[in-house]
Amino acid sequence: MAHAYTPGLRVAELTVVRKERRLPLPGEVLVKLGAHVKAAQVVARTELPGNVESVNVANRLGVPPEDVPQCMLKKEGDSIEKGEVIAQSKSFFGLFKSSCQATVTGTVETVSSVTGQVLLREPPLPVEVRAYVDGIVADVLPGEGVVVETPATFIQGIFGIGGEIQGQLVMVVASADEILDADRLTEAVRGKVAVGGSLVTAAAIRKAIAVGAKGILAGGLHDKDLREFLGYDLGVAITGNEDKGVTLIVTEGFGKIRMAEATFNLLKRCEGMECSMNGATQIRAGVIRPEVVIPRQDKQPTNEEAGEGAGNMVVGSQVRVIREPYFGRLGTVSLLPSELQRIESETMVRVLEVRFGDGTQAIIPRANVELIEK
């Protein structure tokens, strides 16, 4: 077998990025096909049904549940104000009436003669979807949202924390193996995305939040620092909803790992440009990786954006080793033997031979490398 299928992370100097911006429920699309949109612009809007409160009217009035409908002053569908009387008991000669007030402003949803409960629904909650990247509306999904398209530099990370942000890229280290420590960050990164080298420390994350940086990009992060940042030990890699004051993406993994030279140099060339960044990561079926999109509307890519970071590995492919003992090293595939081989852990697996930059070679399980995609 001369090639193998291996997923990889996508790092592209120039490609076409298409972002589907969908509402969680049907609603209204606010922009037209072909329109130019800015990242922060609202492109679609809807309303989520409001929260529901239940009121045990039967208990409050001291009547059996089957009498509740007759006691109601408001019917299903009526509007109500918080504190307004919605039900009243009929009493002896009109004396000693008990009444029940609305606990929220909204509408009466249901009145039950079985349980004596009345459900009140609060007003709808507005939900807005923004464009996320500067670009043009390439497609309108009626009632659902839009697809925003732009030529862009596109970099996928391996793991992230925090949601969508926009900001200007600032290099705060000089090389891909430098550590991003707190002293690299000053007021100058306020509202911006700081790019580090091999590791971002816990102190640097704290400082980034303190000086108001919007995002951090680095090669690696220690698990202990992630725990300190989140306040808990992350069990399953489903992230993106954290509200920690900064969005963080690592490109290589956990530990101190030099950022891939190509990634670092590409970010360096984009210094000063506005980027959109999302830390959302989901490592399950339907994998989602964190990403940095740097719109380049002045450029025209020659080829369309390829698939979802997957491709064929052949002799000559550039790969990154993603497990010990060569974790983080980059090299070129020099051999793809088809027969299974016994490795040190005594496991029989398919392997490849990789030649590293310093000329040394190693045999590595195929499952332990990823393609570096151009």
Partner 1 sequence: MAEETQLNLTELTSILATDCGSTTTKAILIEREAGEYRLKVRGEAPTTVERPAEDVTRGVLNAVGEVEELTNRSILDGEVIVKPFSKDKGVDIYISTSSAGGGLQMMVAGVVKSMTGESAQRAALGAGAIVMDVLASNDGRLPHQQIERIRNLRPDMILLSGGIDGGTTTHVAELAEIISAADPKPRLGHGFKLPVIYAGNKNAREIVQNILGDKVDLFVVDNLRPVLERENLGPAREKIHELFMEHVMQQAPGYAKLMQWTDVPIMPTPGAVGLIIQTIAAQHGIDVVGVDIGGATTDVFSVFSGTFNRTVSANLGMSYSVSNVLAETGLDNVMRWVPFDMDELDLRNRIKNKMIRPTTIPQLMEELIVEQAISREALRLAFVQHKSFAVGLKGIQQERTISDTFEQKSTGETLVNMMSLKLLVGSGGVLSHAPRRNQAAMMLIDSFLPEGFTHLAVDSIFMMPQLGVLSTVHPEAATEVFERDCLIHLGTCIAPVGPARPGKPILELDIELPQGTEHVAMEFGQLRLLPLGVGEKARVRARPAKGLDLGGGKGAEVSEEVEGGVVGIIIDTRGRNPFVLPVDARERVPKLVEWIKALDAYPVEALSHR
Footprint of partner 1 (CB under 8 A): 7, 49, 51-54, 65, 109-110, 112, 114-115, 117, 119, 121, 158-159, 222-224, 226, 233-237, 253-255, 281, 283-286, 322-325, 327, 343-349, 364-365, 367-368, 370
Beta-bridged to residue 46, according to DSSP, are 127
Cβ closest to partner 1, residue 39 vs residue 248: 248
Residue closer to partner 1 by CB (options 183, 308) is: 308
Least distance to partner 1 from the beta carbon of 173, Å?
21
How many whole angstroms separate alpha carbon 228 and alpha carbon 155? 26
Would you say 210 or 348 has its CB closer to partner 1? 348
Best CA proximity match to 199, nearest among 177, 168, 169, 175: 177
Q: Is-contact 196 174, C-beta < 8 A?
A: no
Taking the complex as a whole, how short is the minimal distance between the CB of residue 350 and partner 1, in angstroms? 10
If the CB atoms of residues 262 and 343 are measured against partner 1, the closer one turns out to be 343
Amino acid 282 reads Q
By C-beta, is 158 or 194 nearer to partner 1?
A: 158
**Cα dihedral value 301, 307, 310, 311, nearest 10:** -70
How many angstroms separate the CA atoms of 49 and 27, rounded? 12
CB of 27 to partner 1, least distance (A): 14
Residue among 294, 291, 242 at smallest CA distance from 270:
294
Instruction: Output the smallest distance, CB 299 to partner 1, in A.
Output: 27
Q: Which is nearer to partner 1, 40 or 367 (by Cβ)? A: 367
Q: List Cα–Cα distances, 354 to 9, 331, 333, 340, in angstroms.
A: 18, 6, 4, 16
DSSP conformation letters of 50-108? PPEEEEEHHHHHT--GGGHHHHBSS-TT-EE-TT-EEEE---GGG-S--EEE-SSSEEE
Say if strands 247-254 and 215-221 run parallel, antiparallel, or are unpaired: parallel
Closest contact distance (angstroms) between CB of 62 and partner 1 is: 16
Shortest reach from residue 126's CB to partner 1, in Å: 17
298 vs 324 by CB, closer to partner 1: 324
| Max CA separation in the chain (angstroms) | 101
Q: How far is the CB of 218 from partner 1 (least distance, A)?
A: 14
What stretches of 143-283 show up as alpha helix (H) in DSSP? Answer: 202-211, 223-230, 261-269
